[in-house]
Amino acid sequence: MLNKAATTAAIDDLAAERARIHHLRGNLYFPLGRLVDCLQEHERALDCARRANSSEMQARALGGLGDAEYARGRMASAHRHFSRCAELSRASGAGRIEVANLSMVAHTQVYLNDFSDALATAQMAVELAARVGHQRAEIIAHNAACTVFRTTGEFARGKVHAERALILARQLGAKRFEATSLRDLAMVARAEASSSEAMDLLYRALAISRETGVNFVGPWILGQLAVTTENQSERQTALTEGQEILRKGAVSHNHLWFFR
Low-confidence ranges of the chain (pLDDT < 50): none
Give the pLDDT score at 9: 62
Q: Which amino acid is at 233?
A: S
How far is the C-alpha of 169 from the C-alpha of 140, rounded, in Å? 10
Q: How far is CA 190 from CA 24, 36, 245, in A?
A: 42, 38, 24
Total-model pTM: 0.90
How would you class 119 by CB atoms within 10 Å of its CB: exposed for 0-12, middle for 13-18, buried for 19 or more? buried
Give the whole-angstrom CA distance, residue 98 versus residue 233.
Answer: 46
The packing angle between helices 232-248 and 252-259, to 10°, is 150
In the prediction, which pLDDT does 33 show? 84
Q: Give the Å distances, CA to CA, from 152 to 76, 115, 143, 155, 232.
A: 21, 8, 14, 8, 28
What pLDDT does residue 12 have? 65
Q: Is 114 left (phi over 0), alpha (psi -120 to 50) or beta?
A: beta
Q: Residue 151: what pLDDT?
A: 86
Position 219 scores a pLDDT of 98
Rounded Cα gap, residues 13 and 174, in angstroms: 39
Distance CA 166, CA 69 (A): 27
pLDDT at 1: 81
CB 220 within 8 A of CB 228: no
In this predicted structure, what is the pLDDT of residue 31?
Answer: 84
Q: Tell which residue, 206, 215, 157, 158, has the closest CA to residue 180.
A: 206
pLDDT at 260: 85
